[in-house]
Structure 1
Amino acid sequence: MKGPRSNGEPRDTSSSTVQGPSTSTPNTKPSRPQIVEGTHSGNPPRLEQPSPHEIIDVDAFYDDGPPPERFSGPSLSSKVSVNKVEPSMLVSATVITPIASYPDLGVDPPLFDISAVPLADDKAIPYSFLAHTLFTLSTTRSRNIITNSLTNALRTICAVHEPSLMPSLYLLSNSISPPYLSLELGLGHSIISKAIQNVSGLTPAALKRLYNQKGDPGDVAFEAKANVRTLLPHAPLSIVGVYQSLLKIATAKGEGSVKHKQSIVEKLLVSAKGEEIRFLVRTLAQHIRVGAVRTTILTALARAMALTPPRAVKVRQRPFYASPPLLTRVTNAESTKGKKDVDASRVELEAIYDAAEGLVKQVFVQHPSYDDIVVGLLAKGLDGLAESVPLTLGIPLHPTLGSPMRSLDDVYERLGNLPFAAEFKYDGQRAQVHAWKDATGQIFFKLFSRHLEDMTDKYPDIKVLVQHVFASSPETASFIIDGEIVAVDAKDGSLKSFQELSNRARKAVELHEVTITVCLFAFDLMYLDGKTLLEVPFRQRRQMLRSRFPPIALDRPGAARFDHVESVECSGSDADKEAVEEFWIRAVESRCEGLMIKVLDSGEIVEVSGPRSEKTRRKPLPATYEPDKRTSAWLKLKKDYVTGLGDSFDLVPVGTWHGIGRKTAWWSPVLLALRDPDSGAMVALCKCMSGFSDGFYKQMKEKYAEDSDNCSRQPLWGEIEGGYRPAVYFRPHEVWEVRGADITLSPVSVAAKGMVSDRGLSLRFPRFMKVRDDKSIEQASTPTFLASVYRKQQGKDQSGADDGQLLDPESSDEAEEEEESG
Structure 2
Amino acid sequence: MSKRAQPSLSSSSQQKRAKLVSDQSSLKDFFRSSPTLTSHDSAAGKGKSKALGPELVEQLNTKKGATPEVIDLTSDPEPTIYRVSGCETLSATPGQADVRDSPGGALDASDRPSWKPVLGKHDITAQPNYQPIGVDPLVYDIQKFPWPANTPAPYSFLVHALVTLSGTRSRIVILNTLTNTLRTLLNWHRPSLLPSLYLLSNCLSPPYSLVELGIGSSVISKAIQHISGLSSSALRRLYNSSGDPGDVAFEAKSNVRTLIPHPPLLITAVYNSLLNIAKSKGQGAANQKQAIVEKLLVAAKGEESRYLVRTLSQNLRVGAVRTSILIALARALVLTSPHILGGFVREDSPYHGTSQSVSAVQSIAAEGKKAFDPACDELHEKFTKAEALVKRVFVRHPNYEHIVAGLFNGGLDSLEVRVPLTVGIPLHPTLGSPTRSLDEIYDRLGDLPFVAEFKYDGQRAQIHGVRGVKDDNPSVHIFSRHLEDMTTKYPDIVHLVRCIFEDQPQLQSFIIDSEIVAIDPGDGGLKSFQELSNRARKDVEMSDIKISVCVFTFDLVYLDGEVLLARPFRERRSLLRSRFPPFLSCDKGAGRLDHVESCESENGRDAIEEFWQKAVESRSEGLMIKLLDSGTIQEDRTQKGNARRKPLPATYEPDKRTSAWLKLKKDYVVGLGDTLDMVPVGAWHGNGRKAGWWSPVLLAVRDSSNDCLVAVCKCMSGFSDTFYKEMVAHYSEGSDNCSTQPLWRTDTGGFRPDVYFRPHEVWEIRGADITLSPVSLAALGMVSSSRGLSLRFPRFIKTREDKLLEQASTVDFLAQMWKGQQGKSATAQGGTDDGDLVDVELDTEEVAEESDY
Superposition TM-score tier, normalisation by shorter sequence:
0.7 to 0.9
Which residue identity does 2:712 align to in structure 1?
L
Q: 2:763 aligns with which of 729, 736, 741?
A: 736
Structure 1 SS opposite 2:466: strand
Partner of 1:491: 522
The aligned residue for residue 106 of structure 1 is: 134
Q: How does 1:641-656 map to 2 (within 5 A)?
A: 641-656=668-683
Distance 2:396 2:301 in 1: 39
Paired residues for 1:41-440 under 5 Å: 62-63=41-42, 64-66=46-48, 68=50, 71-72=53-54, 74=73, 78-79=77-78, 89-94=119-124, 100-308=128-336, 309=338, 310-316=340-346, 317-333=348-364, 342-439=372-469, 440=471
Q: CA deviation at 1:603?
A: 1.6
**Whole-Å separation in 1 of the counterparts to 2:668 and 2:839:** 25
Aligned to 1:686: 713
| Distance verdict in 2 for CA 1:697–1:433, change over 3 Å | farther
Q: Deviations over 1:776-821 (max 9, x none)?
A: 54443222222232234445343996667635x8xxxxx3565789
| Residue from 585, 610, 635 that aligns with 1:607 | 635
Amino acid corresponding to residue 152 of structure 2 in structure 1: A
Which residue identity does 2:644 align to in structure 1? R
Match of 1:476 in 2: 507
Q: Does 1:548 align with 2:579?
A: yes
Match in the other structure for 1:786: 814
Alpha-carbon offset, residue 694 of structure 1? 3.6
The SS at the match of 1:423 is strand
CA deviation map 1:167-205 (0-9, x unaligned):
000110111111111323233333222222221111122
Q: Residue in 2 aligned with 1:806?
A: 835
- 2:362 and 2:607 map into 1 onto residues whose CA distance is 62
Within 5 Å, give how 1:713-752 maps onto structure 2. 718-720=745-747, 722-724=749-751, 727-732=755-760, 734-752=761-779
User: 1:687: how far off?
Assistant: 2.8
Q: Is the 2:495–2:590 contact (alpha carbons within 8 Å) kept by the matching residues of 1?
A: yes
Q: Give yes or no for contact 2:681–2:746 (8 Å, CA) kept in 1.
A: no
For residue 634 of structure 2, give the secondary structure of its aligned residue in structure 1.
strand
Higher mean displacement: 507-516 or 664-673: 664-673
CA separation of 1:800 and 1:400: change in aligned 2, threshold 3 A: closer
Give the secondary-structure state (helix, strand or coil) at the position aligned to 1:106. coil
Instruction: Give how far 1:62 is off.
Output: 4.0
* Contact residue 154 and residue 165 of structure 1 kept, 8 A: yes
Query: Does 1:624 find its partner at 2:648?
Result: no
Q: SS of the residue aligned with 2:604?
A: helix
Percentage identity across paired residues of the two chains: 57
**8 Å CA contact 1:403, 1:632 repeated in 2:** yes
CA distance in 1, matches of 2:795, 2:329: 42
- The amino acid across from 2:468 in the alignment is D
Counterpart Cα distance in 1 of 2:319 and 2:564: 35
Q: Using the alignment, how far apart are the partners of 2:76 and 2:390 within structure 1?
A: 54
The whole-number CA distance in structure 2 between the counterparts of 1:711 and 1:320 is: 51
Using the alignment, how far apart are the partners of 1:67 and 1:666 within structure 2? 45
Distance 1:170 1:717 in 2: 26
Question: How far apart, CA to CA, are the structure 1 residues paired with 2:468 and 2:842?
Answer: 55
The answer on whether the counterparts of 2:679 and 2:759 sit within 8 Å (CA) in structure 1 is no
SS in structure 1 at match of 2:433: strand
Q: Is the 8 A contact 1:623 1:633 kept in 2?
A: yes
Distance across 2 between alignment mates of 1:325 and 1:777 = 45
1:273-306 Cα deviation digits (max 9, x unpaired)? 1111111111111111111000000000011111
Q: Is the CA contact (8 Å cut-off) linking 1:120 and 1:160 kept in structure 2?
A: no
**Is there any run of 5+ residues in structure 2 with no aligned partner, and where?**
1-17, 19-36, 55-71, 81-116, 846-853
Once the two structures are superposed, residues 595-620 of structure 1 have per-residue CA deviations (whole angstroms, 9 ceiling, x without a partner) of: 1111111121121256x773322212
Q: CA deviation at 1:553?
A: 2.6
Alpha-carbon separation, structure 2, partners of 1:593 and 1:411: 17
Deviations along 1:27-54, one digit per CA (max 9) or x if unpaired, are xxx9xxxxxxxxxxxxxxxxxxxxxxxx
Alpha-carbon contact 1:606-1:617 (below 8 Å) kept: yes
In structure 2, distance between residues paired with 1:552 and 1:376 = 39
Partners of 1:712 and 1:458 lie apart in 2 by 39
Query: In 2, distance between residues paired with 1:567 and 1:307?
Result: 50
Partners of 2:499 and 2:843 in 1: how far apart? 46
Separation of aligned partners in 2, 1:799 and 1:533: 41
Matched, 1:530 2:557: no
1:445-498 per-residue CA deviation (whole Å, 9 max, x = no partner) reads 110000101111111111111111111111111110000111111111111111
| Deviation sequence 1:353-402 (CA, Å, 0-9, x none) | 01111111011000101111111112211112111111111110000011
Runs of 5+ consecutive residues of structure 1 not aligned to the other structure: 1-29, 31-57, 82-86, 810-814
1:305-334 CA-to-partner distances (Å, cap 9, x unmatched) read: 111154324221211111122222222325
Tell me the secondary structure at the aligned position of residue 326 of structure 1.
helix
* Superposed displacement of residue 207, structure 1: 1.3
Are residues 384 and 313 of structure 1, via their aligned partners in 2, closer, same or farther at CA, if it must alter by over 3 Å?
Answer: farther
Determine if the alignment matches structure 1 residue 441 to structure 2 residue 487. Answer: no
Q: Give the aligned residue type for 1:178.
A: P
User: What is aligned with 1:22?
Assistant: none
In structure 2, the residue matched to 1:539 is 570
- Kindly state the Cα deviation for residue 352 of structure 1 after the two structures are TM-superposed: 0.3
**Does the Cα contact within 8 Å between 1:59 and 1:75 map onto a contact in 2?**
no
Which piece of structure 1 moves more, 149-158 or 212-221?
212-221
My pick for the range that moved more, 616-625 or 391-400, is: 616-625
CA distance in 1 between partners of 2:528 and 2:461 (Å): 17
Q: Is the 8 A contact 1:657 1:728 kept in 2?
A: no
- 1:412, CA displacement in angstroms? 1.4
Q: Aligned in 2, Cα 1:304/1:708: closer, same or farther, shift over 3 Å?
A: farther
Q: In 2, Cα distance between the equivalents of 1:247 and 1:613?
A: 58
Deviation string, structure 1 residues 645-691 (Cα, Å, up to 9, x no partner):
23222223445566666656765444332223445533222232321
TM-score (norm: length of structure 2): 0.82
Is contact 2:138-2:361 (8 Å) kept?
Answer: yes
RMSD, matched Cα: 3.1
| CA distance in structure 1 between the partners assigned to 2:546 and 2:691 by the alignment | 37
Give the conservation status (yes or no) of the 8 Å contact 2:676–2:765: yes
| 1:658 to 1:229, Cα distance in 2 relative to 1, 3 A | farther
Cα 1:613/1:495, change in 2 over 3 Å: farther
Note if 1:769 corresponds to 2:800.
no
Q: Does the Cα contact within 8 Å between 1:215 and 1:714 map onto a contact in 2?
A: no
Number of residue pairs matched by the alignment: 748
State whether residues 720 and 840 of structure 2, in contact with CA within 8 Å, keep that contact through their aligned partners in structure 1. no
Letter in 1 for 2:477: K
Alpha-carbon contact 2:341-2:411 (below 8 Å) kept: no
- Distance in 1 of aligned mates of 2:466 and 2:48: 48
Structure 2 SS opposite 1:114: coil
**Partners of 1:443 and 1:680 in 2: how far apart?**
44
